Amino acid sequence: MLSETQIIELAKQEEQLHPKSSLIDYYKFFFQGTFGPEHFIENEAKAKNFLQQELASATSFEPHLFQKIDYRTTFYRVNLAVIKLKLVSPEDFFKGFLKSSKFQAKISNSEWATQWQQIELILKKSSLKIFNFEEASDRLNSKLEKLDFIISHSEIYRKTYQPHYRLFNQTEFNKLTLE
């Protein structure tokens, strides 16, 4: 696990991009930096279909094309706008996402739950302005007790930022040549 200072620095970077993030969104940020997209693809055809449907229905995108998540492993949230802007073909985007999903975290779910509790304490002590901290903490703890580790973005995050992205590992992100 990173130091307290490093965790706060990562959270501040997230706060700068998404100032209306709740604790649930910080959880998702650190979870993605631990597990990447490995939890996302159960069925390749369904994942591709879901991506196509999201592309067809998305009307608004965040202004940044990608966001680096450098927690345990380096991952990038790559905005679907890169496809709409024709910077990346849908085929190359999906192929990179699919390859990124083969990542296997070197941490168990129970180790993650313990690590998250430590991160949450660090965030609580920090100067970050995190919306509905206690309510979100209760919700997260309830889900973790049930061994339910997959969390969607908070409602305010979805309404404010309309996130449309997929996670890429460092290698697959570099192939996109977006930097």
What is the DSSP code string of 42-94? S-HHHHHHHHHHHHHH-----S-SEEEEESSSEEEEEETHHHHTTSS-HHHHH
Are 113 and 101 contacting, i.e. CB atoms less than 8 angstroms apart? no
* pLDDT mean over 77-83: 98
3-state class (DSSP) for residue 158: helix
Residues 100, 11, 42, CA angle at the centre, nearest 5°? 25
Taking residue 99's Cβ as centre, other Cβ atoms within 10 Å add up to: 15
Mean residue pLDDT across the chain: 93
Calculate the CA dihedral of residues 156, 11, 102, 89 and round it to 10 degrees: 60
Q: What is the pLDDT of residue 141?
A: 93
The pTM score is 0.94
Tell me the C-alpha distance between 156 and 178, whole Å.
28
**Segments making up each domain of the chain, as ranges:** 4-176
Tell me the C-alpha distance between 127 and 141, whole Å.
22
pLDDT in tens, 163-179: 999 999 999 999 998 86
Residue 23 reports pLDDT greater than 90: yes
Of 40-44, 72-76, 101-105, 110-114, least confident by mean pLDDT is 40-44
> Amino acid identity, residue 143?
K
Q: What is the pLDDT of residue 39?
A: 64
